[in-house]
Amino acid sequence: MYSGSIPDVASNPFPSALMPTPQDETAGSRLGDLAQPILAGVLAALVGYASTFTLVLGGLGHAGASPGEAASGLFAMCLAMGLLNTIVVWRLRIPLSFAWSTPGAAFLLTLQPITGGFAAVTGAFIVVGALIAACGFARPLARAVAAIPGPIAAAMLAGVLLNLCLAPVKAVAELPWLALPIVVAWVIGLKLARRYAVPLAVLAAAIMLAVSSNLAPGALSVALPSLQLVLPVFTLEALVKIAIPLFVITMASQNLTGLAVMRANGFEVDAGVPFALSGLASAIVALFGGLTVNLAAITAALAAGPEAHPDPARRWVAPVAAGFVYFALALLATLAAAFIAAAPPILIEAVAGLALLPSLAGALSGALANDDLRLPAVVTFVTTASGITLLGIGGAFWGLLAGIGLLLVLRRWRP
């Protein structure tokens, strides 16, 4: 296993893997060594952003954020992801990747209105950030989350994603002339270049919006984004409905999965520093309308795998390159928010649903993989997907509780 360590950057600011060797190594070969991980990092950032920014902005808007607050949140998240990917990875010299919580954004789209509006949602985001940071300092908390059976956590995620993944079908039924070209573009992307399937769908959505809508002059603003402070309100309702489910979803489907991706590629990671810093960053960006930031799971494979570089010691360059791309993408936050505001909501949900179909497939596969846990996982799935609200608490919480409760009953009174 490759284990990263924090070098003495004061005396040697560049990683030894990239320092000239005593041999007569040509400048071209050194540039070639850098080019491969840089391109991998740029690709990971662009694909990750283009595939999910509609989902993030849609989730924030559904949770009560104004277009300005949503743009501020996207701007803050991109800045945080840029800082985490550059500074943390530069120090650790391992290809950790940071991203926003895509499943968390999908979860926001399932919420019923929260008393206190977006200010209460912001308070819940801060609590989630604090809990993630606490996992970095209090390892028993991280172990407790990790102790939730994987199939049940996957089933809860699948239940959250199900309704959103139905959106493309509903969009085709409601707006066939707008939605069908988006679905066709996605299918063509799957066939020819799977990584670009969702970006192609986003491009198709932009084209259909441009040709079918009578947009007012300046509707798609290109003004530079700015940060808007959102004063948080902390309520018990938001804690139970948002903070607890979002924390579990983020830890189970992002942070723990991100660590698993690293291990699968031969990197042993001490999660303390990444959890603490990403949790702190999440609490800060929440004050400006941003969603949780965490370890990347899907795009992490691009930076940590052989695609980034054959030599594991040089792959850390990829997420650093991705970090600089996120700084550049932060400047598009206002334009992206204007695009979301101008588009029919069902169209944005359709694009988001297409982006999440692979996640739904993976979650369902994980939920049903274990014979002994299959029935509790199914109970978790159907309870979460039902969208019920009991005692003011949403389905994700009850789904997790129902699945774990059934599992405990079956294990204790096994015949």
Residue 297 lies in a domain: yes
Residue 5 lies in a domain: no
> What 3-state class would DSSP assign to 178?
helix
Residue 10 lies in a domain: no
Q: What percent of the chain has pLDDT over 70?
A: 86
Residue, of 305 and 264, whose pLDDT is higher: 305
Rounded to whole angstroms, the Cα distance separating 89 from 106 reads 27
Q: Is residue 166 a contact partner of residue 349, using CB atoms and an 8 Å limit?
A: no
Q: What is the mean pLDDT of residues 383-390?
A: 79
pLDDT in tens, 153-186: 788 778 877 887 888 899 899 888 888 998 999 9
The DSSP result for 251-289, as a single string, is IIIIIHHHHHHHHHTTEE--THHHHHHHHHHHHHHHTTT
Q: Is residue 385 a contact partner of residue 133, using CB atoms and an 8 Å limit?
A: no
- Name the residue type at position 81: M
Residue, of 352 and 275, whose pLDDT is higher: 275
Rounded to whole angstroms, the Cα distance separating 135 from 128 reads 11
Residue 146 lies in a domain: yes
Residue 207 lies in a domain: yes
Q: What pLDDT was estimated at residue 217? A: 56
> Is residue 15 predicted with pLDDT exceeding 80?
no
Residue 11 lies in a domain: no
pLDDT, averaged across the chain: 81
pLDDT in tens, 92-108: 889 999 999 988 888 89
Question: Highest-confidence range of 15-29, 133-147, 305-319, by mean pLDDT?
Answer: 305-319
Range of the domain at 221: 37-412
> What 3-state class would DSSP assign to 64?
coil
Whose tokens are 């909501």? That residue is: 345
Residue 57 lies in a domain: yes
Tokens coding 119 = 């200010």
Q: Is residue 406 a contact partner of residue 375, using CB atoms and an 8 Å limit?
A: yes
Helix ranges, 20-166 (H): 27-62, 67-83, 89-92, 102-108, 117-137, 139-146, 150-165
What is the pTM for the complete model shown?
0.73
Q: Is residue 7 a contact partner of residue 15, using CB atoms and an 8 Å limit?
A: yes
Residue, of 91 and 34, whose pLDDT is higher: 91
Number of domains the chain contains: 1
